[in-house]
Amino acid sequence: MNPDSLAAARLASMVFMVKPKHFGFNRQTAETNTFQKNKPSMSDIHLSAIKEFTNAVNQLVSKGIDVIVFESEDAEAPDAVFPNNWFSSHHDGTLVLYPMYASNRRRERSEAAIVHIKNQCNSRHCIDLSPLENTGTFLEGTGSIIFDHSTQSAYASLSPRTDQKLFESICHQLSYHPNSFSCYDPQGRPFYHTNVILHIGNDYAVIYDEGIIDINERKKIMNRLAESKKDIVRLSFEQVESFCGNMLQLKNNQGIPYTVCSKAAWKSLTAEQISVLERHTNLLTFDIAVIEQIGGGSIRCMIAELF
């Protein structure tokens, strides 16, 4: 693949990851995140998660992707390993801080972490939406919003953690075209985050469109993706449960594209789906079974892009 073609994708080559002080099951988020599994009989959950985290960092670095690791000192922030939910950075130097649904997740947005991020990405402007969480309005970063930087478009599946008006407002401020919709699991529950049912790369998109019940909404979103000239990989619900939607495309310091996914996700993809993806990117898989099962999030949730 010609590295020059990646310039249009504006992929990140530097990422921010957080080593948690104490990883564990978060009861405050379990009500809206059906992917979480409480396994009190599992021993050494934190130590296993730290091992998975360390291996993931080493894998990314080995491929030439810069990883900035921040060590959380807050033992009361069990989901600190998922920093992409409370901030996003952008190519124009803008840093956005987001309002979080669970009170213990708001602790992750520490002043030390914010200063660290600002120093790394030379942030020139900060949009702080976090006070809105006190009014019951939530929008959880790139968990709620899928930014397609190559087309200046953004997508959001509405849920208790993703407010439509706030999504449209931040898109306007960032000069992105908003595309909101509703997506449900087979039991009729909205997915807690968009990034478990939708991933957009430079030349491809991965989506669970069957859950978009409204036919007009589904047609609108699928047409929008098609207009972006992307190969579309459609997921089953079983594949969503294996975190196939929770991917992220990055590039290394040589401009080579990598799409990160978990081993569980990779095993759930069909040979045909893998073939479509590998026409556009290199798949990089991570063994993060403990983080996925206990935290209810996968590798994309563990990575926040720095521009």
Mean per-residue pLDDT, 273-297: 97
Residue 107 to residue 143: CA distance in whole angstroms: 17
Distance (Å) of CA 23 to CA 33, 47, 79, 291: 16, 8, 6, 8
Q: How confident is the model at residue 121 (pLDDT cuts 50, 70, 90)?
A: confident
* % of residues, the chain, pLDDT over 90: 88
Amino acid in the structure at residue 258: Y
> What pLDDT does 190 receive?
97
Q: How confident is the model at residue 7 (pLDDT cuts 50, 70, 90)?
A: very low
3-class SS of residue 145: strand
* % of residues, the chain, pLDDT over 70: 96
Q: How confident is the model at residue 35 (pLDDT cuts 50, 70, 90)?
A: confident
Mean per-residue pLDDT, 98-102: 97
pLDDT tens digit sequence for 142-195: 999 999 999 999 999 999 999 999 999 999 999 999 999 999 999 999 999 999
CB atoms within 10 A of CB 136: 10
Checking if the pLDDT of 1 tops 70, the result is: no
CA-based nearest residue to 156, from 109, 125, 108, 200: 200
CA-based nearest residue to 184, from 175, 173, 196: 196
> What pLDDT does 4 receive?
43
**Is 15 within 8 Å of 305 (Cβ atoms)?**
yes
Mean per-residue pLDDT, 207-219: 98
**Higher pLDDT pick, 230 / 40:** 230
Mean per-residue pLDDT, 74-83: 96
φ, ψ of residue 8 in degrees (nearest 5): -65, -30
> What pLDDT does 2 receive?
43
Mean per-residue pLDDT, 92-96: 95
> What pLDDT does 42 receive?
63
pLDDT tens digit sequence for 221-257: 999 999 999 999 999 999 999 999 999 999 999 999 9
Mean per-residue pLDDT, 261-289: 98
In the chain the domains, ranked by start, together with CATH numbers, are 3-306 (3.75.10.10)
Residue 292 to residue 37: CA distance in whole angstroms: 9
Checking if the pLDDT of 216 tops 90, the result is: yes
Residues in the chain: 307
**Is 242 within 8 Å of 268 (Cβ atoms)?**
yes
Question: Which tokens sit at 211?
Answer: 């859950």
